[in-house]
Amino acid sequence: MADLRTNLPTEAAKREMHKRPQAWAPAALLPEPDIMPGWAYRWIRTATLNVMDPRNLSSKLREGWEPVKVEEQPQMQLLIDPNSRFKDNIEIGGLLLCKTPVKFVEQRTAYYADQTQKQTEAVDNNLMRQSDPRMPLFAEKRTSTSFGKS
C-alpha cells in the first residue's frame, strides 16, 4: 500500500504537468532602467512629433532631474536614438531618461499633497460660508438607534 502512494505524483507535480503555456504579450514601449538605490527614474519629454519642447525639459531640469548617462545603464546602449541631441544620454522616441534623488520626489509629493489639502479646505470653507441652515448645501446625516423604552 505504501508503494502505491510513493508512485503517485504530488500536488505540485500535477500542477507542473497542467501548467498553462505562456501567452505572447507586446513589448513595453519604454524599457525599465536598472534601479539604483536612492534614485528615482522618469522619462521626460524632449520632443513631440519631432518638434522640440525645450520648455518642458528645462523646467524638469530646474526641478532637479538630471539626464542619465549611457555608462550608468549599459543595457540600453543599443536602444538609444543615434540621431539624438543628447549624445551621452539615453533618449528614445523624444523621451529622455532622467534621475533624481528619492528625497526630492518625496519632498515634491509632500508639497503637492499640502497644496491639494489647502485647496480642498478653501473650497469647503467657501461652500460652508454660502450654506444656510434653512437650506443646507450638505445635510449631515445622523442616525441613532435606541433600545427599550424612550
Per-residue model confidence as pLDDT tens digits over 4-48: 555 555 665 566 666 777 888 887 788 888 889 999 999 999 988
Element (H, E) at 5: helix 2-7
Long-range contacts of 81-89 (CB under 8 A, 24+ apart): 85/46, 86/46
51 in a structural domain: yes
Q: Note whether residue 28 is domain-resident.
A: no
If DSSP codes are grouped into helix, strand and coil, which group holds residue 105?
A: helix
**Residue 74: inside a domain:** yes
Query: What pTM was estimated for this model as a whole?
Result: 0.63
Number of folded domains that form the chain: 1
User: Does residue 2 belong to any structural domain of this protein?
Assistant: no
- Residue 84 located in a structural domain: yes
The region of weakest confidence among 18-27, 55-64, 127-136 is 127-136
Cβ contacts of 143-148, under 8 Å, gap ≥ 24: none
144 within some domain: no
Instruction: Give the domain range for residue 47.
Output: 39-101
Classify residue 85 by its DSSP letter.
S
The whole-angstrom separation of Cα 24 and Cα 114 is 43
As given in the structure block, the three cell numbers for residue 62 are: 530646474
**Within a domain: 89:** yes
